Amino acid sequence: MNFIVLIVITLFYIIVLIPEYVKEGRKYKISNVLKRKLTLSIVFCLVGLKGVFIQSFSFYSILIFIGLLFSLAGDYFLFFIDKNEVKFIFGIFMFALTHILYILSMTLLINYTVWEFIITLIICVVVFYIVKILMKINLGNAEIPLLVYTFLLVLMTIKSVFVIYLSSNYILSKLLFSLGAILFLISDSLLCIDHFALKKPILKNIRDIPYFIGQIMIASSIYFI
């Protein structure tokens, strides 16, 4: 019964709530857009909370749920990305905590491997070489926070893939989490391209779609452990 409800909520979330948020975003009514965005965030937090109860408050499920709560706070602060640099940096901090908690949850499934850090470091070096040297983008006061955040985001995504590769149990849960992490990475990449480089209206309308789908998948992964 819990799984049927989860499927119904997830489908409603993806088919109805996310398109409504994107549609509202095209109208540029800030208060309405913020309300719809936080509604989406609250829903994935509630899905995660239900998962915590289903898993009898396991440490793994609690870590992910707290990460979802930090994401909710981050969604609020990053809404002002173009208007308030302090809130932007604070939003980065909230999401950095999210990734730390997600990484810690995965360490309960498998230990760290040196290759996770090597691959993460290589990707981060390449990304910042492209951003700083080739594209000559000025990140301003957000440069150091973004450097740390990018490392955590990439590490979280790489580890989610390693969890699938190195462990054969709970495959559905790990697959949902990994796909969610990849979508999270795609969304943040679109956000950075939009904010620091292209600034295209089309990106503002679509950049959050993979993020919200990814977060509902990560929240749902709790149910299958």
Over range 159-175, report the average pLDDT. 89
Cα-to-chain-centroid distance, residue 10: 16
Q: Is the pTM of this model over 0.85?
A: yes
As a residue count, the chain comes to 225
Classify 112 in phi/psi space as left (phi over 0), alpha (psi -120 to 50) or beta.
beta
High-pLDDT (> 70) share of the chain, %: 93
Dist. CA 14–CA 73, nearest whole Å = 21
C-alpha angle 10/159/111, rounded to 5°?
A: 120
Q: Which residue has the tokens 């940096």?
A: 89
Burial (CB count within 10 angstroms: exposed 0-12, middle 13-18, buried 19+), residue 87? middle
Q: Which residue has the tokens 């919200």?
A: 212
User: What is the separation, in whole angstroms, between the first and last Cα of the chain?
Assistant: 16
Q: What is the structure's pLDDT at 85?
A: 77
* Per-residue pLDDT reduced to its tens digit, 198-210: 666 666 668 899 9
Dist. CA 102–CA 70, nearest whole Å = 11
Q: What is the structure's pLDDT at 100?
A: 97
